[in-house]
Amino acid sequence: MGWYIVRTEPHYENDAKDFLLKLSVADGTGESPVSDDVYLPTRRVTYERNGRRTVVMRPTIGGMLFVKAGPDILEKCVTDSGAFMSVSGTSASFPRVYLYSNPTAYMSGKRERIAGAAVPDKEFEMFHFYNERLKDHLEELRVMEGNYEAAFELDKTKTIQVVNGPYLGLIGNLKQMTVNSRRDHRLVIRLGNMRIVIPSVRSYRHIIVRDEQAGNKADEVRLWKRIDTLVGVLQGYGLSDTAPSLLRRIIRVLREVPQHSIQELTDVVNMMRSGLHSCGSATDKVSCNRYGRCFRFMDGFDASVLSSLHAFISGLKASETGSLLSVSEYFAFSSDILLDTQLSDIIRDNKLRPFLTPTSGTGIPRGRDYTVLRHSDFTEVILKVSLASCFREYLRLLSADDRKMASVAKADGECYVYYAHVALCRRSDGNMLAITNWGDFFNEYTACKSAGDNLDVLFEKEYTRFCALLSKDNGMDFIPLPFDTYGGGFATVISGHYSSLADTVLPGDIITALKAFVKDTSRAAVQIWQCPRLLPWRRLLQKSVFLR
C-alpha cells in the first residue's frame, strides 16, 4: 500500500474523490473497493460578498488529489494510458481521472505509469503535515510541469530549511524566479514526480542544508577540498612542513609532461631518484628532451623527499588520483607568467590545515579517535568529530511535531563526520597553547577591525556563537598563528606542565580539553556555514575554515 498522485479537471476535485471512493474491482469473493483513503488537500479562503464574510474550502493544488492503494489493485482499474476505469471496465466519464506520472518520461505500460505516480511515504507525510497545519495561511500552490531538474537547474541552487514561521522545518531548493514580472525567491519541494513551488519563503528565517552541486561556486569549493585532501596525504608521508610547496611543484610537472598522466609523473620522479636526468647518455638525452622542463621543477630535492614523493604517487587511491588530475586541469590554461602567482594564491604555504576538513590525510589508529602529526615547530592533533549535533542544534527549540517533520526533511546522503586540526605549542610558562587555523576568515576579520569597522554589531545578529567566543568569557582568544606567517584562529590555554609530546598517545586530560575546545569552535563554524546572509564571510569560511 502506498500513496499515488491523481489528476482530474480543475473544479471537479470533489467529484473525482467520490468516484475513487466508489470505485471497486473484482476479486475472488466479489467486488472490493480500490481504496477507502483518498486525500484531497484543501485550504481555507475567506472573501466578502454583499458585506458578508464567507469562508470556503478550495483545493491547495488545482485538479490534484492522492489515493492510497496497492499497485496490484491499481493495475486492475487503470488503462494503459493511466486513466481510471469505471466498474463496467470503460474509462471514467467526465471529469477524467488519471494517475499523474512524469510527463517528460516515456511510459511503455501500465506498471511504469503506476510506479511513476507513486509518492514516498516521508514526502507525503511531510506535505500532509504542513497542508493541514497551514490551511488558513496557504496560497494556492503551483505545480511545475516538465523536466524539473533541467528547467530549474536545481543542482545549481542551495537546499535550505525553514526554521521559523508556518513552514518551520520544511526543506527544499531556493530558486529565484520571475512571476508576474517580479523576481522572487521561491521554495521548490519534491512530491513524488512533481515539483511544487511555495512563494514568500524569504520572509521566514532559514538555514542552508546543502550547497549548490553544480556551477562555478560548486567547482570552486571542490577545488579547495581536493587541494586540502592532497596536502593531507602528502603530510602523511613525512612531508608535514613542505606539503603545499611540493604539491605546487607536482602540478607544474603534470602540466609539462606530454600526456599529463600520473604514469609520466612517476617516470619523472623515478628518473630523478636514479640520477638519469643528467642527460649523459643518448637514451637519457631522449628523456631530457621529453621531460627537461619537468626536471627543473624537481631540482633541489634530496633523496628522502624524492622517496616520499614516489611513495605518495604510488599510494594514491583512485579518488586521490582523480583529485590530483582535476587540480592540474584547473590550471591547464594558465600562462607560465601567471601560473606561479595563481598556485601560490590557492595553495598556501600553511603548515596547519584548515580547522575542519572532510579527510584526515594521516590514518587514525584503530581504537582511537585522534592521531598526532609532527611538525618542526609544533605538534598537530587531528581529531575525528561528528558535527551532527551542531547541524541539528536548532531542533531543540522546536515542538515534538515540528522536530519530527524537521527530521523527516533532512537531506539524503548527509555526512557529518569531519576532522578537526589543532596545533599544540609549548608556552614559556610550560602550559600548552591549542590553536586552530581560520586562514582568510581571520585575516579579513582583523583587517576590518583594524580599519575601524564595527563587525560585532553585524555578526551579533547572525553569528551568535562566533561572537560568544570573541567575548573571552570562556578563556579563548582570536590570535595569529605563532608558527606561521599567514592566518590565525581561535586559541585556548591548556594548563599543566607536560615534559614531552613526542609520544603518539597524548595524555587524557589534553585530549579532553581539546575535545571541549573543538566542540565550541565547531558550533561557531557550523552556524556561519548555515547562515544564508553575509555570504562573503561564509565564502571565506568555506575556503579556509570549514571545507564543506
Specify whether the CB–CB gap between 437 and 355 falls below 8 A: yes
Question: Which three cell numbers, joined as nine digits, stand for 263?
Answer: 604514469
Cα–Cα distance, 167 to 189 (Å, whole number) = 12
Alpha-carbon span 311 to 303, nearest angstrom: 12
Would you call 64 helix, strand, or coil by DSSP? strand
pLDDT value for 275? 66
**How does pLDDT run across 205-242, given as a tens digit for each residue?**
888 888 888 888 888 899 999 999 999 999 988 888 88
- Residue of 158 and 394 predicted with greater confidence: 158
Q: Provide the pLDDT for residue 86.
A: 65
Q: How confident is the model at residue 26 (pLDDT cuts 50, 70, 90)?
A: low
Over residues 142-150, mean pLDDT: 57
**How confident is residue 294, by pLDDT bands cut at 50, 70 and 90?**
low
Q: Write down the residue that cell numbers 579579513 correspond to.
A: 444
98-106's contacts with Cβ under 8 Å and 24+ in sequence apart are: 98/6, 98/7, 98/8, 99/4, 99/5, 99/6, 99/7, 99/74, 100/5, 100/6, 100/7, 100/64, 100/193, 100/194, 101/193, 102/193, 103/145, 103/146, 104/146, 104/147
How far apart are alpha carbons 548 and 542 in whole angstroms? 6
Average pLDDT over residues 407-436: 78
282 pLDDT tier (thresholds 50, 70, 90)? very low
- Residue 528: predicted pLDDT: 92
Mean pLDDT of the region 62-81: 84
Q: pLDDT tens digits, residue range 523-548?
A: 999 999 988 888 899 999 999 999 88
Q: List Cα–Cα distances, 462 to 69, 170, 172, 395, 526, in angstroms.
A: 47, 20, 21, 17, 12
Whether 145 has a pLDDT exceeding 70, the answer reads no
Q: What is the pLDDT of residue 524?
A: 92
Please give the residue that has the higher pLDDT: either 399 or 201.
Answer: 201
Q: Is residue 285 very low, low, confident or very high in pLDDT (cuts 50, 70, 90)?
A: very low
Q: How confident is the model at residue 401 (pLDDT cuts 50, 70, 90)?
A: low
pLDDT grade for 27, boundaries at 50, 70 and 90 = low
What is the pLDDT, as a whole number, of residue 440? Answer: 92
pLDDT digits (tens, 9 = 90+) for 103-117: 555 556 788 888 888
Where is pLDDT greater, at 306 or 35? 306
DSSP bridge partners of 27: 30
- Range name among 331-335, 375-379, 407-411, 453-457 with the lowest pLDDT average: 407-411
Q: What is the dihedral of CA 293, 297, 299, 305, to 10 degrees?
A: -140
Q: Are 196 and 61 in contact (CB under 8 A)?
A: yes
Contact 440, 487 (CB under 8 A): yes
The whole-angstrom separation of Cα 242 and Cα 245 is: 6
Helix (H) or strand (E) holding 92: none
Residue 422 has pLDDT above 90, yes or no: yes
What is the pLDDT at residue 356? 95
Segment holding 488, helix H or strand E: strand 488-494
Using omega within 30 degrees of 0 as the cis cutoff, is the peptide bond preceding 358 cis? Answer: no
Res 283 pLDDT > 50:
no
Tens digit of each residue's pLDDT (9 = 90 or more) over 365-380: 888 999 999 998 889 9
Beta strands in 100-152 (DSSP E): 118-119, 142-144
What secondary structure letter does DSSP report for 59? E
- Residue identified by cell 585530549 is 511
Higher pLDDT, 406 or 74: 74
pLDDT > 90 in the chain, percent: 17
For position 412, what pLDDT does the model report? 45
- Look up residue 141 and give its DSSP letter: P
Looking at residue 140, its pLDDT comes to: 63
> Among 34-43, 505-514, 517-526, which range has the highest average pLDDT?
517-526
pLDDT at 168 over 50: yes
At 134, is the pLDDT very low, low, confident or very high (cuts 50, 70, 90)? confident
Which residues 6+ apart lie within 8 Å of 355 measured at CB?
A: 420, 421, 436, 437, 438, 489, 521, 525, 545, 546
Q: Residue 411: which pLDDT band, with cuts at 50, 70 and 90?
A: very low
- CA proximity to 487, closest of 352, 322, 304: 352
